[in-house]
Amino acid sequence: MKEIKILVLQPPISDEVMWGRFKKGSGYVPPLGIMYIANYMEEKGFHCDVLDCLVEKYKIADLKEHLSKNKYDFIGITCMTNSALDAFASAKVAREVCPDALIVLGGVHPTALPEQTVKECLDADLIIVGEGEQTFIDLANCLQEGKDYHGVDGLAYWGKEENKVKYTTPRTPIPDLDVLPFPAYHKVPMDKYVPHVTQYVDLPNYPILLQRGCPYQCTYCDHGAVLGRKIRSLSVERAIENIRHLVENYGAKGIYFLDSVFTVRRDFIMKLLKELQNQDFKISFACNARADQLDLELLGELKKAGCWMIQIGIESGNIKSLELIKKASYSSAFKADPNDPKGRPYLLNKYEQEIRNCQKLGIQVMASYILGLPGETVEDAENTISFAKKLATETALFFLPVPYPGSYLLTQAKEDGGLKENMSWKDYSCVDYSNPVYVNPQIGKERMQELLAKAFREYYRKPSVIYRNIKKITRMKDITKYVKAFRALTGV
């Protein structure tokens, strides 16, 4: 049987689209989604190449040349919303150069909008909805055996006879993550990956994913669409094996845990942290967490295991906005705390308490905030900026609301009257708001842009923030890194 030539790729995306205002510190991380697919393919006996056009700094012409030289039979392209046009352009050159290849698109964007993607990207034969590993294998098997692939689960495609978009049975998420091989690290240039300057202390630093899924329902996020609401974790043994693999084979000194909420399963995390403390290697790591899951005991274990930074989505200093975006899963979080002399709500108190706990233990915090959420006024946005300045974490990132397809924020933005029609996918950006998809009707576009600029400017000029960051500089090499990070965040 002829061996089919397979490629999964990350499209060429410009630094402007990728990093926008943060492009001064721009960096690259391995595209884990397609790397998981590639190694799963290898394990099942297929040869599958990975091309990360981002890290290779490929333009569309370079991709065309690469495809002309290699002539693949099966090409998979990963696709997020603000770079959807780049993914569509990649499908177009793939179709030109490999006219007979099976070309498919997968990832968060096609999963959220399968019907629209089928119609907008006519160069793709199929859209993969949800997790891609098993669907990709099933398609490769059909191709290899010369069978019709339109019955494979997890697909959307244009039904020519019916003249409409057709769907196959939805793909159920892989229940046991331990069955997956590690991502195909050996198929990407690992030495070229240096993450954004704000995301590491020690290099090499690589991302890793131990858990998939998120049970929460923050309205601005569409995480659940692809990876599901149910949390699935690697076993602690397998998780340690994956970290060790990165340390021993790629010299990793730092890790970024990409799990949307690293701390979501306390039993798993506590066990993992204890195991990490017992290893014969030491790594520094950063992770994402929700403040409402933190406490001194957990933070203490995180610190002992090597955690240097936690990214926390605070989002707002206004309790009505936190309730609107469903930032806590229990309603008491939004109520006044009877033990607080000013009657401040529980959630705002919890934020402050856990940030102070991190500061006590010497764990840095990168906090993120959204200014101008539906229903907010200029005063509300100013209030969020003041709250951020009060918390004075090492890093704060300010965003304007971006109603991603599949997120409930899209409905909230529509109801609020601020959702713009007929926007380009590249405007769905968290890093470039020159043409925002949502303009809060009570604030207006120019005022929103001004508020964002003011937030960054005032925050990073605040003496306590400057002092907190300078205190962290203990090595000569950190000075350059901190200057670079400062420039990336403030845009100066």
CA triple 140-121-97, angle to 5 deg: 65
| Residue of 81, 83, 211, 260 interacting with ligand SF4 (CB under 6 A) | 260
* Sign of the torsion angle spanned by Cα atoms 254, 258, 259, 264: positive
Q: How far is the CB of 36 from ligand B12 (least distance, A)?
A: 5
CA triple 141-144-147, angle to 5 deg: 75
Record the tokens describing residue 214, joined without a space: 């998120």
Residues numbered 414 to 433 that lie near ligand B12 (CB under 6 A) are 429-431
Q: How far is the CB of 327 from ligand SF4 (least distance, A)?
A: 8
> For residues 30 and 317, which CB has a smaller minimum distance to ligand B12 in the complex?
30
CA–CA distance, 389 with 387 (Å, rounded to integer): 5
Q: Does 78 bind ligand SF4 (CB under 6 A)?
A: no
Q: Answer with the entry of ligand B12, ligand SF4, none that 261 interacts with (C-beta below 5 to 8 A by kind).
A: ligand SF4
Burial 275-289 (b: 16+ CB within 10 A, else e): ebeeeeeebbbbbbb
Closest CA to 428 of 82, 83, 116: 82
CA–CA distance, 205 with 56 (Å, rounded to integer): 18
Q: Does 265 bind ligand SF4 (CB under 6 A)?
A: no
User: Strand 211-212 vs strand 164-167: parallel, antiparallel, or unpaired?
Assistant: unpaired
| Residue of 216, 408, 482, 486 interacting with ligand SF4 (CB under 6 A) | 216
| Residue of 53, 87, 201, 221 interacting with ligand SF4 (CB under 6 A) | 221
CA triple 191-197-202, angle to 5 deg: 60
Q: Does 363 bind ligand B12 (CB under 6 A)?
A: no
Residues numbered 62 to 81 that lie near ligand B12 (CB under 6 A) are 76-78, 80-81
Region of 209-217, 414-422, 448-456, 471-479 interacting with ligand SF4 (CB under 6 A): 209-217
Q: Does 223 bind ligand SF4 (CB under 6 A)?
A: yes
CA–CA distance, 256 with 275 (Å, rounded to integer): 17
* Sign of the torsion angle spanned by Cα atoms 485, 327, 33, 111: negative
Region of 79-87, 212-220, 372-380, 412-420 interacting with ligand SF4 (CB under 6 A): 212-220
Region of 88-96, 99-107, 312-320, 473-481 interacting with ligand B12 (CB under 6 A): 99-107
Q: Does 350 bind ligand SF4 (CB under 6 A)?
A: no
DSSP code at position 336: B
CA–CA distance, 31 with 58 (Å, rounded to integer): 15
Region of 78-86, 218-226, 274-282, 366-374 interacting with ligand SF4 (CB under 6 A): 218-226
> For residues 22 and 351, which CB has a smaller minimum distance to ligand B12 in the complex?
22
| Residue of 290, 350, 426, 445 interacting with ligand SF4 (CB under 6 A) | 290
Q: Does 310 bind ligand SF4 (CB under 6 A)?
A: no
83, 13 contact by CB (below 8 A):
yes
Q: Does 408 bind ligand SF4 (CB under 6 A)?
A: no
Record the tokens describing residue 423, joined without a space: 């926007």
Residues numbered 182 to 201 that lie near ligand SF4 (CB under 6 A) are none
Q: Does 402 bind ligand SF4 (CB under 6 A)?
A: no
> For residues 217 and 353, which CB has a smaller minimum distance to ligand SF4 in the complex?
217
Q: Answer with the entry of ligand SF4, ligand B12, none that 104 interacts with (C-beta below 5 to 8 A by kind).
A: ligand B12
CA–CA distance, 63 with 270 (Å, rounded to integer): 44
Q: What is the DSSP string of 15-48?
A: HHHHHGGGGGG------HHHHHHHHHHHHTT--E
For 32-99, list the strands marked E by DSSP.
Answer: 48-52, 74-78
Closest CA to 78 of 67, 68, 91: 91
Q: Cβ contacts of residue 422 below 8 Å, gap of 6+?
A: none
317, 368 contact by CB (below 8 A):
no
| Residue of 25, 33, 224, 403 interacting with ligand B12 (CB under 6 A) | 33
> For residues 80 and 363, which CB has a smaller minimum distance to ligand B12 in the complex?
80
> For residues 167 and 216, which CB has a smaller minimum distance to ligand SF4 in the complex?
216
Q: How far is the CB of 338 from ligand B12 (least distance, A)?
A: 34
Q: Cβ contacts of residue 41 below 8 Å, gap of 6+?
A: 6, 47, 48, 136, 137, 140
- Site size toward ligand SF4 (CB under 6 A) is 10
CA–CA distance, 9 with 2 (Å, rounded to integer): 22
Q: Where on the chain is the footprint of ligand B12 (CB under 6 A)?
A: 8, 10, 13, 18, 29, 31-34, 36-37, 76-78, 80-83, 104, 106-109, 112, 128, 131-133, 135-136, 207, 209, 221-223, 226-227, 258, 260, 404, 429-431
Q: Where on the chain is the footprint of ligand SF4 (CB under 6 A)?
A: 214, 216-218, 221, 223, 260-261, 290, 313
